[in-house]
């Protein structure tokens, strides 16, 4: 979720109002989602109730798409999602999953918003949502707009992660989704917007890296826009700073396949990267340099691959 702009969202919590209002944690939300889904909008009258897209459907590996517009498997958007699945498996050293990730693609923004207002009243305005229900169904809701490629990459990343892992810590879930939403033939392209804003915050003394704080966050409403940038930066740092930092992340993901709570990642990272926060500050500064090239370290031991910095809309 990107809380200050109408972008995409991995729904793991609901913001409530009032100083004494309860704050729902991620697991508590699953039961509430199931209740909302079953109850619908009881007591609310609509002259026209919008249903889920169902005119057209296709299946491509884990992707199950239902849409009101006809899309062939050869469409660039579908091909991109299939490449993303392979990229994630190879980059993160995870086996290709089989659990379906269902995408409901509305033909226009109005029907998408009407459906969300009906089924999930009170949810923040976002271009796209990933929702994991109490029954562990993995669903993406979005509409065909100018940023459909970016939105689907972000949300489909959430779905693929949740299909493979027993649990995904909130900060890591969003950091990886931000990492893979930037398109390209090689994963890890630099999100220049994130890099520039982080560098600016460092210069103004408004930000210092704090992975321990990020790891403590369990509720979506507690994550500010800057937290999403930092989550992306930590993932990029681990993947491209050195082979050792990359291996720490890959090992942690392997543990999450069977253990929903493998402990803090910062402890493991500090063991291979002394003076961690200072190294992170230096890495953020290097990302913001003109013509920066990142470096990818393949797990196979092959030669490192250069990654060109690209603009992020």
SS3 162: helix
Helix axes 148-164, 170-181, angle to 10 degrees: 140
Distance CA 139, CA 88 (A): 18
- Grade residue 293 by pLDDT with cuts at 50, 70 and 90: very low
| Of 223 and 113, the one with more pLDDT | 113
Bridge-based pairing state of the strands 63-67 and 56-60: antiparallel
CATH 3.40.30 segments of the chain: 8-164
Q: Does the model's pTM come out above 0.85?
A: no
CA atoms within 13 A on the CB side of 208: 6
Q: Are 80 and 117 in contact (CB under 8 A)?
A: no
Considering the domain 8-164 in this protein, what is its CATH number? 3.40.30
- pLDDT tens sequence across 191-212: 989 999 999 988 888 899 999 9
- pLDDT tens sequence across 222-251: 888 899 999 999 999 999 999 999 999 999
SS3 307: strand
- pLDDT tens sequence across 25-35: 444 444 444 44
Distance CA 240, CA 286 (A): 12
Distance CA 295, CA 292 (A): 10
């Amino acid at each position: 979720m990107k809380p200050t702009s109408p972008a995409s969202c991995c729904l793991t919590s609901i913001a409530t109002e009032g100083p004494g209002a309860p704050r729902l944690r991620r697991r508590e939300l699953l039961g509430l989602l199931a209740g909302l889904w079953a109850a619908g909008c009881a007591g609310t009258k609509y002259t026209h109730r919008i249903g889920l897209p169902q005119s057209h459907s296709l299946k491509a590996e884990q992707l199950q798409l239902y849409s009101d517009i006809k899309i062939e498997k050869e469409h660039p958007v579908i091909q991109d999602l299939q490449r993303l699945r392979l990229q994630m498996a190879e980059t993160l050293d995870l086996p290709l999953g089989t659990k379906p990730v269902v995408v409901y693609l509305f033909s226009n923004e109005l029907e998408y918003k009407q459906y969300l207002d009906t089924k999930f009243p009170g949810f923040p305005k976002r271009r796209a949502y990933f929702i994991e229900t109490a029954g562990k169904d993995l669903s993406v809701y979005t509409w065909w707009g100018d940023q459909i490629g970016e939105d689907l990459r972000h949300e489909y990343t959430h779905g693929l992660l949740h299909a493979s892992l027993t649990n995904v810590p909130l900060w890591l879930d969003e950091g990886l989704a931000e990492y893979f939403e930037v398109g390209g033939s090689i994963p890890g392209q630099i999100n220049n917007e994130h890099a520039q804003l982080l560098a600016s915050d460092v210069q103004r003394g408004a930000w210092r890296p704090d992975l321990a704080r990020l790891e403590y966050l369990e509720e979506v409403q507690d994550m500010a826009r800057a937290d999403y940038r930092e989550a992306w930066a930590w993932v990029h740092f681990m993947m491209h700073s050195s082979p050792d930092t990359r291996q720490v992340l890959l090992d942690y993901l392997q543990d999450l396949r069977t253990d929903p709570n493998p402990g803090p990642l910062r402890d493991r990272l500090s063991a291979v990267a002394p003076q961690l926060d200072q190294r992170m500050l230096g890495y953020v500064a290097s990302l913001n340099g003109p013509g920066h090239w990142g470096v990818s370290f393949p797990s196979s031991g092959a030669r490192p691959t250069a990654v060109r910095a690209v603009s992020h809309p």
